[in-house]
Amino acid sequence: MGGWAIAVHGGAGVDPNLPAHRQEQAKQLLTRCLQLGVSALNSNLPAIDVVELVVRELETDPLFNSGRGSALTEKGTVEMEASIMDGTKRRCGAVSGVTTVKNPISLARLVMDKSPHSYLAFSGAEEFARQQGVETVDNEYFITPENVGMLKLAKEANAILFDYRIPSAGNETCGAGVESPLQMNGLPISIYAPETVGCVVVDGQGRCAAGTSTGGLMNKMTGRIGDSPLIGAGTYAGEVCGVSCTGEGEAIIRGTLAREVAAVMEYRGLKLQEAVDFVIKERLDEGMAGLIAVSKSGEVAYGFNCNGMFRGCATQDGFMEVGIWE
């Protein structure tokens, strides 16, 4: 048993022109979240609680695309989604189409703990939030001026915008060798993935958990559901590992990415990093994404097939790092 480990991400696919101060802010936020997780783990908090705690912090800060700062729908509104999974008993909870809940990850947790279901969406999820007395705010709280500007750009380009800018050449890619503009449902997409957040934890007792939270894609259709709330696609935790994905949701769904990592470990006996590398290479042939993972034995791994991913990790032996680029 290798002790506890934690990894966080703030989205795959990074604008190469991202200003230095913004990169610095992202690294500081990731570091702060890791420190929060580390002290919780040192206080013996179970993995599932640490995941919720850290994702809440990421949702509350407007920097990444979750909670406050979420990407906007084509109508300029925010529809958030999140999921959480406790690998010890394979319990899970998820929400979609949440419009007023300050911390969707905690609502997902309540779906897991306090409802007879695994997944609630839209008005039913909002109603459940009120029954449970979670903190709610006006939809405007989530909308930042920066995202309003991005939605405008996305609309001008008739694009589903992954992140901060439309690629100037239209045919750039963070994978090699793609020659035509990237498309999603017939619309061009930016090369940069949005900055969804996620956290995976294995605690000192070898219990794995994972959580993911997002506003989805900028200029998405209202009602669109991505991979982040889908157990097995954007999030998965079982006995052997915990995984949180980010990137082009439609591709992650097709590849059932998070579960695939666990499956190749379970059925092929691969180690965590081998499993991550295999899944990124073999299951993401049509899309761009990344993921973070921890294993029961305290390993931590990343993988992405694009230019970068906001991420960080820490392990019980005192190691901690945050990074953005390859």
> Which residues bind to ligand ASP, rule: CB under 6 A?
11, 65, 193-196, 214, 216-217, 226-228, 246-247, 249, 252
- DSSP class per residue in 22-78: HHHHHHHHHHHHHHHHHHHHHTT--HHHHHHHHHHHHHHSTTSSSSTTPPPBTTS--
Q: How far is the CB of 270 from ligand ASP (least distance, A)?
A: 24
Residue closer to ligand ASP by CB (options 240, 276) is: 276
The question of whether 31 is a catalytic residue gets the answer no
Q: Rounded to the nearest 5°, which phi and psi values hold at 91? A: -100, 145
- Beta-ladder partners of 73: 220
Q: How far is the CB of 9 from ligand ASP (least distance, A)?
A: 9
Q: How far is the CB of 158 from ligand ASP (least distance, A)?
A: 18
Distances (CA, A) of 129 to 106, 124, 222, 264: 10, 9, 20, 36
In degrees to the nearest 10, what's the CA dihedral of 202, 203, 208, 213?
-70
How far apart (Å, rounded) are the C-alpha atoms in residues 215 and 64? 9
Residue closer to ligand ASP by CB (options 305, 316) is: 305
Residue closer to ligand ASP by CB (options 67, 298) is: 67
Q: How far is the CB of 284 from ligand ASP (least distance, A)?
A: 12
Stated length of the chain: 326
Taking CB positions, which residue lies at the least distance from ligand ASP? 249
Q: How far is the CB of 268 from ligand ASP (least distance, A)?
A: 26
Angle, in degrees to the nearest 10, between helices 104-114 and 122-132: 80
Q: How far is the CB of 231 from ligand ASP (least distance, A)?
A: 14
- Environment class of residue 91 by beta-carbon count within 10 Å: exposed (0-12), middle (13-18) or buried (19+)? middle
Task: Give the Cα-Cα-Cα angle 21, 27, 33 (nearest 5 degrees).
Answer: 140
Residue closer to ligand ASP by CB (options 109, 224) is: 224
How far apart (Å, rounded) are the C-alpha atoms in residues 86 and 84? 7
Q: Of residues 73, 99, 196, 256, which has the active-site annotation?
A: 196
Task: Give the Cα-Cα-Cα angle 273, 275, 277 (nearest 5 degrees).
Answer: 70
Residue closer to ligand ASP by CB (options 38, 143) is: 143
Q: What share of the chain is helix, strand, coil (3-state, %, to 5)?
A: 35, 25, 40
Catalytic residues: 196
